[in-house]
Structures are given as C-alpha cells and as structure tokens.
Amino acid sequence: MSEREFVPLKIAVLTVSDSRSLAEDRSGETLVGRLTEAGHQLAYRRIVTDDVAAIREVVAAWCADPGVDVVITTGGTGFTGRDVTPEALEPLFEKRMDGFSAIFHRISFEKIGVSTIQSRATGGVIDATFVFVLPGSPGACRDGWDHILKDQLDYRHRPCNFVEIMPRLDEHLRRGAGRGA
C-alpha cells in the first residue's frame, strides 16, 4: 500500500478575550505557529470579546465559508461569568465530539492534575466544518494541538483521521436534497 500524501487544510483561529490584542495573543500565536509548521494554511485569524453573539457570528460565517476546513477557538472555556464560548457554539453543533473533550482532559490531567476540571474544552461539527474549542492558555493550545489535532488533521495518520471524513460531513444535507426535500 502506498503512503498517503499530506493534505493541507485551511484553518481559522479565533481568540475569545476581553483583554488581548493580536500583538498580545500568545495562545492564538501558538496555534498559528503549530498549524503552519505542520503544513496547513491559516485561513483567518481574529479576536472577539467574550460575547455569545460575536462568537457565533464569526464562527458561523467561517463555517459557511468554503475556504475554511477547520475552526479552532481559544479562550472563554472557564467558569467565570464572561466565559461563554461553549454556550455560544454548542447550540450550533450538528454533532458533538465528546471524545475530543475526554482526550483533552486526560492529557491536561497529566500536566495540571485535577485543575483540568476548570476547562470546558469541547468540539463538534457546524455546517460540515470541524470546530474545536480550547482554553485560552498557550499550554492548553500546545497540548490540544500536539496531542490531538496535529494527528487528527493529518490525512496520513492511521488508523483514521478527520481529513478522510471531511467530504462526508454534509451527507445528511445531500441525501435530503436527493429525495426532493
């Protein structure tokens, strides 16, 4: 069997923060550095405030854009009153990715122990686009990328990866359209 070739993805990075600018955004910069180092392309990068409507607006637009394959957010996953990224995005998920949260917390537990319970990292599919919601620390972004996303966003990763199923994420829409729905 021949070796698969790398498939570069177009990835958008959204930082959710009331206090950071692009120049001060170490978490977003960590993700951008890692994804470009892996051979992927940065589709978009923005910062929005901790506001449900603002987060939804940006992520929904990116997910509807055929030039975006994956969206990664960083920030807003804690428990303070301003941490609203999961509340903004989970209602939009067509499918939840419980395994992402479980694996992220296992990895995080190895590094920071029970403090991992203070994160609500999550993932899912919106408009046939994978969306990953990471905490706002550079360490959490490194862990999420290095131990989960780097492999799952690489077509060469075996036994399976997200890239190989991307063309099928909208099957339910095509199937419905084929029946005259």
Residue 2 has pLDDT above 90, yes or no: no
Residue 94 has pLDDT above 50, yes or no: yes
Amino acid at 40: H
pLDDT at 150: 98
Cα separation, 49 vs 70, in Å, equals 21
Nearest to 31 by CA among 148, 122, 165: 148
pLDDT digits (tens, 9 = 90+) for 112-170: 999 999 999 999 999 999 999 999 999 999 999 999 999 999 999 999 999 999 999 98
Residue 84 has pLDDT above 50, yes or no: yes
pLDDT at 176: 61
pLDDT at 126: 97
Residue 179 has pLDDT above 90, yes or no: no
- Give the pLDDT mean for 55-78: 98
CA angle 33, 38, 43 (to 5 degrees): 65
Q: How many CB atoms lie within 10 A of CB 50?
A: 20
- CATH architecture of the region 10-178: 3-Layer(aba) Sandwich (3.40)
- Computed over every residue of the chain, the mean pLDDT equals 94
pLDDT at 20: 85
Cα separation, 40 vs 130, in Å, equals 15
3-state secondary structure of 70: strand
Express as a percent the part of the chain with pLDDT over 70.
94
Cα separation, 155 vs 58, in Å, equals 27
pLDDT digits (tens, 9 = 90+) for 60-70: 999 999 999 99
